[in-house]
Amino acid sequence: MQLPWPGQSSLKSRLITLLLGCNTLLLLSLTLSFIYYQRPASSTVTTGSTLPHFASFQLTLALLGSVALAAFLSRRIDRIISEPIRDLSRKMEIVSRSQDYRVRVDRAGEDELAVLFACFNNMLAEISIRDERLALHSEELELEVAERTLELSEVNRQLEASLESVRDAMQSAQSANRAKSDFLAQMSHEIRTPMYGVLGMTELLLGTDLTKEQARYVDTVRRSGEALLSIINNILDFSKIEAGRMELERIPFDLHQLAADAIAVCAEDAARKGLELTLELEPGLPRMFVGDPGRLRQVVVNLLGNAVKFTLKGWVRLTLAASEPLGLVCFSVEDTGIGIAPEAQLRIFNQFTQGDESMTRKYGGTGLGLAIARQLTELMGGSLELASESGRGSRFSFTAQLEVHEEATRSERCCTALRDKRVLLATDDEETRAVIGDQLTSWGVDMECVGDAPDAFCRIVTAPFDLAVLDHRLAGTDGIELAATFRTVPAGRSVRILLLTERDEQCHSTRLAELEATTFPKRALRQDGLYRAVMAALGMDEEERRDAGCCGAPAPRQRQVLLVEDNTVNQEVGKGMLESLGCRVKVVEDGAAAVSEVQRTRYDVVFMDCQMPVMDGLEATRRIRLWEQGSGTRIPIIALTAYAMPGDRVACLEAGADDYLSKPFTCEQIAKAMERQLDGVATTMAAAHGEGEAEPAAVEPLEVISHDKMSGALEIIRTLPGNRGMEILRKVVDLYLASTPALLQTMREAESGGDAEKLKAAAHSFKSSSANLGALRLAGVCMELESLGRAGSTEGALPLLHQVEEEYRLVRDALRGGPLC
Ligand code: ADP
């Protein structure tokens, strides 16, 4: 807007005019005053008083005039300047209070104030225009917001609709996934059942009289079946992992056994290729763990299988070691095979991928094994790694986070058959001493170690030992010579000898037989066979092992077995296998029939299929367990299932089954499962009958050596097949007579030292050996001592100890004069 420029009658000119007027008046009055004060003094006196009066009048007039002028001026200034400014500030206040920009200030003229007012008015006009524009704009904005909101709600609606459809899609994907998993489960059942039929029947067929050619054909069928089953398993496993349905079990298992089993699976192939296949268990590695043994075994067997497959000569080694934190186990499979090129090392862990595609035809395989193995190890909280060099071999290692089964490990230690056996180890080799020492101690053996032959001989003649483990390369002599020296003295004649041999020392077999020494290769010390070798050296047959609380052999009595199975092929296979194990088998077709059959007839064990019409195995098991509550019996039930889905085992066990077998199974697996159950029953029954030991509390007076019991003890030994009975009997008696003084001494010390635990252990050992020889009276007194010790006291032990010594003298005389004559 154009502002008026101040004209002639501007504020400034008016003020100047006013000021000029004032100045003139002031000048006038000043001039008059000056004239008055400048007149001569005489004249003042001479002219009399008229002039002064006139002058002062004039002055007063001038002053009054000035005052009036000033007042006039001030009024003028007020009207010209102050009044409009006040008006302006009033209007400004109104504007600021009411925000009303339509207010205007009036001022005519062209002076500066008029210009200022005009500017002010202009500004207000501008502001109100801007306000209007703003209002307009905000209206537009509101309209736009409303429009956008509409659009947004439309988008929201569309989003919700798409979310809804995504939810629908997700639901249908989930149900499709569920259907896929169910389909897989069903497939697994459907595929495995006929495979089970094929493999089982083939196994039975192989046990019949076949011509060489037929046997070869059947063997090929078996191998192909096994290969097909392994491929099917791989595909099913892979699908299960992909569907996120792979779940691991958590059950107790024996890790050492698992490793030995895995080695056994590959042993035949390795032997065929002339490969040395070894297992190394780190000394001190716990035995019992909680985890998924099936999946663990699958990974180990896969790696071992590959190692054997891709190794043409040399060796394959499986090593197991414990690591930190507790329960973490490191597995490694090493081979001296063809190795893997660096560029293939990453690729081979992908599914359907092989190291060298050109070799596929030569070696076969699906390329799924390592992919599954890696996923499984990750599920087990570990990782799978590879170190390999082309042409020099490979090393696959993986870890698995397991849980140490403390309770089982403890009880395993307590019930080992070797507990409290006295073993003398003669070796000057540090490593041998450490390895054997660790293992024997972990089995509860009471071990002494010597570093040379003279020391060994001294120990043998001064203390009774059950077993002497002699290093064949012993400083001062060799093991065979030392064994021969042992045999020259009575104490050394009864001791069992296990010779640790080098590879080239197998040729002394005749000499070893003469000395009745058994052997064990030193290079296999870290492997799993030492326990069996020690058991064998001690002559602890299966029966004795069971007495000592360990797993036993299948019972000689014909077992009565109920097989519950609806599939006729499976019925045939199961029945055939069980009969080949010497069992009498009754087959029923469903769970309901099984329940009534169990109530009617007493069976030693029931093999129960899980999936059956009418009533499934789980329900039948539950009903049998319910019925048993009132009947006071408990039949071992072994669940059978072709469903390899997770949770099956848990479901079976929860229903009341004692064990679980996954189809297809072998005769050996059936036998082992039965062994486990029937042994368990035997142990329980024995425990219920006072540990199945001698009956010292018998009412009738007992002879020193019971001749009734002789038939169950000394007589059995004497009449052992192979005309060696007498010889063995002599050894047994020698051993008994040699070991009892030390036991007596221990009992005396325990009594005088008030050591109840020691008393219990020594009395128990004395009781068992005495009862085994039919010395039941002596065993009875020992049992009283043992009971004292078990109750944590040694009070009243002394008279019993005297009685034991008295009895022992009689027994010793009876033994010397009786069975040995
Ligand atoms: P496959 O079932 O075909 O053997 P894997 O996934 O188990 O599949 O193995 C993939 C590939 O990894 C094999 O084809 C082979 O090339 C390579 N491989 C695995 N283990 C070894 C080994 N110990 N030595 C050499 N190559 C190996």
Query: Does position 317 have pLDDT exceeding 90, yes or no?
Result: yes
> Residue 61 has what pLDDT?
78
Query: Does position 306 have pLDDT exceeding 80, yes or no?
Result: yes
pLDDT digits (tens, 9 = 90+) for 781-793: 887 888 888 788 8
Query: Does position 700 have pLDDT exceeding 80, yes or no?
Result: no
Is residue 299 within 8 A of residue 398, CB to CB? The reply is yes
Give the Cα separation of 749 and 751 in Å (integer): 5
Count Cβ neighbours within 10 Å for each residue of 243-281 and write b for 16 or more, e otherwise: eebbebbebebbbbebbbebbeebeeebeeeebebbbbb
> Residue 253 has what pLDDT?
84
Lowest mean per-residue pLDDT among 10-19, 313-322, 666-675, 700-709: 700-709
| Average pLDDT of span 174-198 | 72
Highest-scoring range by mean pLDDT, 260-264, 302-306, 543-547, 599-603: 302-306
| Average pLDDT of span 210-217 | 86
Q: What is the 363 CA–ligand 1 centroid distance (Å)?
A: 9
Is residue 734 within 8 A of residue 771, CB to CB? The reply is no
Give the Cα separation of 214 and 199 in Å (integer): 16
Q: Whose CA is nearest to atom 13 of ligand 1?
A: 354
| Average pLDDT of span 409-414 | 51
Q: Which residue has better confidence, 494 or 336?
A: 336
Lowest mean per-residue pLDDT among 275-279, 618-622, 769-773: 769-773
**Hey, which of 354, 363, 366, 394 would you mutate to test ligand 1's pocket, going by the most ligand atoms within 8 Å of its Cβ?**
354
Give the Cα separation of 344 and 384 in Å (integer): 16
Give the Cα separation of 393 and 687 in Å (integer): 53
With cut-offs at 50, 70 and 90, classify the pLDDT of residue 46: very low
Q: What is the 387 CA–ligand 1 centroid distance (Å)?
A: 13
Instruction: Please report which residue ranges of 78-111 form alpha helices under DSSP H.
Output: 83-98
| Average pLDDT of span 559-577 | 80
Element (H, E) at 659: strand 659-662
Q: Which residue has better confidence, 391 or 714?
A: 391
Give the Cα separation of 545 and 326 in Å (integer): 31
Which residues lie with the beta carbon below 6 Å from any ligand 1 atom? 302, 306-307, 310, 335, 337-340, 348, 354-356, 365-371, 394
> Residue 799 has what pLDDT?
85
| Average pLDDT of span 696-704 | 41
**What's the chain's Rg over C-alpha atoms?**
55
With cut-offs at 50, 70 and 90, classify the pLDDT of residue 690: very low
Query: Does position 526 have pLDDT exceeding 50, yes or no?
Result: yes
| Average pLDDT of span 361-372 | 72
Q: Among the atoms of ligand 1, which is closest to the Cα of residue 370?
A: 6
Q: Whose CA is nearest to atom 17 of ligand 1?
A: 355
> Residue 658 has what pLDDT?
86
| Average pLDDT of span 548-577 | 66
Highest-scoring range by mean pLDDT, 139-153, 361-375, 480-494, 579-593: 139-153
> Residue 687 has what pLDDT?
31
Percent share of the chain, pLDDT over 90: 14
> Residue 545 has what pLDDT?
46
Counting other chains too, the contacts that 476-482 makes at CB distance below 8 Å and 24 or more residues apart are 476/452, 477/453, 479/426, 480/508, 480/511, 480/512, 480/515, 480/517, 481/453, 482/426, 482/453, 482/456, 482/457
Q: What is the 14 CA–ligand 1 centroid distance (Å)?
A: 114
Beta strands in 483-604 (DSSP E): 496-501, 517-521, 560-564, 584-588
Give the Cα separation of 68 and 88 in Å (integer): 29
Give the Cα separation of 800 and 321 in Å (integer): 49
To 10 degrees, the CA torsion angle through 13, 14, 16, 22?
160
With cut-offs at 50, 70 and 90, classify the pLDDT of residue 459: confident
Q: What is the 788 CA–ligand 1 centroid distance (Å)?
A: 63
Is residue 661 within 8 A of residue 639, CB to CB? The reply is yes
CB atoms near residue 446 (< 10 Å)? 14
> Residue 226 has what pLDDT?
83
The edge-to-edge listing of strands for the beta sheet with 403-404 is 251-254, 288-291, 403-404
> Residue 683 has what pLDDT?
31
| Average pLDDT of span 612-641 | 84
Pairing outcome for strands 605-609 and 637-641: parallel
Query: Does position 415 have pLDDT exceeding 50, yes or no?
Result: no
Q: What is the 356 CA–ligand 1 centroid distance (Å)?
A: 9
Q: Whose CA is nearest to atom 22 of ligand 1?
A: 307
| Average pLDDT of span 515-535 | 76
Q: What is the 373 CA–ligand 1 centroid distance (Å)?
A: 11
**Hey, which of 232, 300, 306, 308 would you mutate to test ligand 1's pocket, going by the most ligand atoms within 8 Å of its Cβ?**
306
Q: Among the atoms of ligand 1, which is closest to the Cα of residue 365?
A: 3
Q: Which residue has better confidence, 584 or 718?
A: 584
From residue 188, alpha-carbon distances to 237, 258, 352 in Å are 10, 24, 20
Lowest mean per-residue pLDDT among 260-274, 459-473, 714-728: 714-728
| Average pLDDT of span 124-148 | 90
Q: Which residue has better confidence, 550 or 669?
A: 669
Q: What is the 316 CA–ligand 1 centroid distance (Å)?
A: 15
> Residue 820 has what pLDDT?
45
Query: Does position 9 have pLDDT exceeding 60, yes or no?
Result: no
| Average pLDDT of span 756-779 | 77
The DSSP code for 106 is -
Give the DSSP letter string of 225-293.
Answer: HHHHHHHHHHHHHHHHHHTT------EEEEHHHHHHHHHHHHHHHHHHTT-EEEEEE-TT--SEEEE-H
pLDDT digits (tens, 9 = 90+) for 387-400: 999 889 999 999 99
Q: What is the 368 CA–ligand 1 centroid distance (Å)?
A: 9
| Average pLDDT of span 284-310 | 90
> Residue 410 has what pLDDT?
52
Q: Among the atoms of ligand 1, which is closest to the Cα of residue 353?
A: 10
From residue 307, alpha-carbon distances to 76, 224, 440, 675 in Å are 121, 21, 32, 33
| Average pLDDT of span 356-374 | 70
The DSSP code for 4 is P
Name residue, tokens 């403890």.
410
Q: What is the 280 CA–ligand 1 centroid distance (Å)?
A: 23
Query: Does position 693 have pLDDT exceeding 80, yes or no?
Result: no
> Residue 702 has what pLDDT?
46
Q: Whose CA is nearest to atom 25 of ligand 1?
A: 339
The total number of residues shown for the chain amounts to 821
| Average pLDDT of span 762-769 | 74
With cut-offs at 50, 70 and 90, classify the pLDDT of residue 240: confident
Q: What is the 374 CA–ligand 1 centroid distance (Å)?
A: 13
Dihedral pair phi/psi, residue 254, rounded to 5°:
-95, 110
Tokens of 684: 């329980």
Q: Which residue has better confidence, 331 or 82?
A: 331
Pairing outcome for strands 637-641 and 659-662: parallel
pLDDT, averaged across the chain: 77
Query: Does position 197 have pLDDT exceeding 50, yes or no?
Result: yes
> Residue 156 has what pLDDT?
92
Q: Which residue has better confidence, 411 or 367?
A: 367
Query: Does position 215 have pLDDT exceeding 70, yes or no?
Result: yes
Pairing outcome for strands 467-471 and 422-426: parallel
Lowest mean per-residue pLDDT among 221-225, 342-346, 498-502, 569-573: 569-573
> Residue 701 has what pLDDT?
41
Q: Among the atoms of ligand 1, which is closest to the Cα of residue 302?
A: 7
Nearest to 418 by CA among 254, 547, 584: 547
| Average pLDDT of span 660-688 | 63
